[in-house]
Amino acid sequence: MSKQEQFLWAVQTIMLTNAVNMSLDADQARQKRHIFSATGVMGTLHDVLYASERIPDSLTAVDAANEFCGYMLENLREVGAKLPSWFARA
């Protein structure tokens, strides 16, 4: 698998497990449904494909996926986190 394919696989895995974890708590699932709904995921798909073509040589696919999901998935984003420059749109 190419680095891009590894990244896409890793992001997919993170997003799926994140959605399952979020769905286990009914209150959280209602409050955060926009993160793992089809509409929410469709928006993220545009960003993940864009990011997959811009992974820096200095990052592994898994490290890039962690950076991507850690910022793009609202429930995983730390307070004050800044968009990683390597996948910011110009």
Question: Taking 80 as the threshold, does the pLDDT of residue 3 lie above it?
Answer: yes
Q: Would you state the pLDDT for residue 34?
A: 79
The string of pLDDT tens digits covering residues 32-72 is: 887 778 887 888 999 999 999 999 999 999 999 999 999 99
Q: Would you state the pLDDT for residue 49?
A: 97
Neighbours of 43 (CB within 10 A): 13
| Alpha carbons 41 and 73: distance in angstroms, whole number | 10
Q: Is the pTM of this model over 0.85?
A: yes
What separation in angstroms does the CA of 17 have from each of 38, 56, 59, 89?
15, 25, 22, 27
Q: Would you state the pLDDT for residue 8?
A: 98
